[in-house]
Structure 1
Amino acid sequence: MADAYKVDGMTCGGCARSVSNAIIKAAPDAAVTVDLATGTVLVDGGIAAEVVRQAVEAAGFDFGGVAA
């Protein structure tokens, strides 16, 4: 089951690709889906939230934690 996280600062497809690529680089087995409209990133593959946070922040975006 995928975990949903809030990511602030994504405004375009390039932003979505940057976040997705950063998470996949940190966790190659992750399946990542970005929803720009809601600022949500779905990560499937049992990846720890801390790994996702580090990848998102390294890509230059603000990690907002688990999405409600």
Structure 2
Amino acid sequence: MTAVFTVPDMTCGHCEKTVRGALDEALPGAAVTVDLSSKKVTVEGDANKAEEAIREVGYSPERVAA
């Protein structure tokens, strides 16, 4: 299952790295794409786990249609 999120408070390379790291830890081996310019994160796997992982590192993901 593909989950797509907009993360409006992801503003820099450090934010991107933090979000990617949280998703890699929560969903090991899942394909993760982070596009800082559009503030969009796409992840293969459990959408709820992905959303929770992003929130746990301090960001506000908003789910969008894949």
1:31 positional shift: 1.7
**Offset, 1:50:** 0.3
- Compared CA separation, residues 14 and 27, structure 1 to 2 (3 A): same
TM-score, length basis structure 1: 0.84
1:18 is aligned with what amino acid? T
How well do the aligned residues superpose, as a CA RMSD in angstroms? 1.7
Contact 1:16 1:36 in 2 (8 A): yes
Distance 1:13 1:67, change over 3 A: farther
Q: Secondary structure at the match of 2:55?
A: helix
Q: CA deviation at 1:8?
A: 2.0
TM-score (norm 2): 0.86
Q: Is the 8 A contact 2:4 2:65 kept in 1?
A: yes
How many equivalent pairs are there? 66
Percent identical pairs in the alignment equals 39
Sort the Cα spacing of 1:42 and 1:27 in 2 relative to 1 into closer, same or farther, 3 A: same
Retained in 2: the 8 A contact 1:40–1:67?
Answer: no
In 2, the alpha carbon distance for the partners of 1:61 and 1:67 equals 19
- Aligned partners of 2:35, 2:25: CA distance in 1, in Å? 19
1:18/1:67 Cα in 2 relative to 1: closer, same or farther (>3 Å)? farther
Unaligned runs of 5+ in 1: none
